[in-house]
């Protein structure tokens, strides 16, 4: 069982739709996007890796946010910036296992993401699978 990096002791449940899975915390509603599942969403491992690596990292201290452990390897994740209308800081595993989105971050990113961007497949998948969650 993977553990939520925010709620720590809380386990993540697996949500599967159309043969693709994401890990989801029932308590804080954050999601873990596994690198392998990103491959499946985009359908191209190379491109998925590029997207995963494309974000620039910022030091946790400068933005005053706590470092969180990767649910897979338990090592501290790095903070990265995702540019939409306003910049969002999310956590990425340094060993490339995946990305963690807090509920609020995800909401804003999905609302403002470009419809034709490289990651559009991921955006539309997440919008679909979390439809009800994002309305609130």
Partner 1 sequence: MWELIAQNRRKSIIILIAMLMILVVLGGLIGAYISYPDGWIYGVPGAILIWLIMALVAYNAGDKIILNVSHATQVSKDMYPRLYNIVEEMKIAASLPHMPEIYIMNDSAMNAFATGVKPERSAIVVTAGLIENLSRDELQGVIAHEMGHIINRDVAFMTFAGVLMGSINIISHTFLRAIFFTSVSRRGKLGGKMGKSNPMLFLFTLVFTIIAPILASLFYFAISRKREYLADATAARLTRYPEGLASALEKITSTAGDVAYYNKITAPMFIINPLYSRDLTSGSSTVNFSTHPPTHERIRILRTLHGKGHVSMREYQSVYANHRKGDSSLIPDSGLKDNTPTSIRQPFAGDTQSHKKTLREVGDLLMAANGFYFLPCSCGLNIKVPPEMEKKHIQCPRCGTALTVPSIGSQQNFSQNQMSQLGAIVGAVAGGTATAATTALNTGPLSFTKKSADRWETFTCSCGSPIQLSPLFKARQIRCKSCRKKITINYPE
Taking residues 49 to 88 in sequence order and writing x for each that binds partner 1 by CB under 8 A, - otherwise, the string is: ----------------------------------------
CA distance 12 to 8: 10
Distance separating alpha carbons of residues 6 and 4, to the nearest angstrom = 5
Q: Which of residues 22-51 bind partner 1 (CB under 8 A)?
A: 24, 26, 29, 36, 40
Closer to partner 1 at the Cβ: 17 or 104? Answer: 17
- By CB neighbour count within 10 A (0-12 exposed, 13-18 middle, 19+ buried), where does 106 fall? buried
CB of 134 to partner 1, least distance (A): 9
Q: Which of 17, 44, 53, 63 binds partner 1 (CB under 8 A)?
A: 17
Alpha-carbon Rg of the chain, whole angstroms?
A: 14
Phi, psi dihedral angles at 39 (to 5 degrees): -55, -45
Return the residues of window 100-129 that contact partner 1 according to CB under 8 A: 128-129
């Amino acid at each position: 069982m993977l553990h939520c990096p925010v709620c720590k002791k809380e386990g993540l449940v697996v949500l599967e739709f159309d043969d693709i899975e994401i890990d989801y915390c029932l308590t804080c509603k954050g999601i873990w996007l596994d690198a392998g599942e990103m491959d499946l969403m985009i359908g191209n491992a190379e491109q998925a890796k590029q997207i995963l690596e494309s974000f620039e990292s910022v030091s946790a201290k400068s933005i005053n946010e706590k470092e969180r452990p990767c649910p897979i390897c338990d090592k501290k994740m790095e903070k990265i910036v995702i540019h939409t209308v306003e910049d969002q800081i999310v956590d990425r595993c340094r060993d490339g296992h995946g990305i963690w989105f807090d509920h609020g971050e995800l909401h804003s990113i999905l609302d403002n993401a470009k419809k034709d961007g490289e990651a559009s497949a991921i955006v539309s998948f997440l919008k679909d699978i979390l439809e009800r969650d994002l309305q609130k």
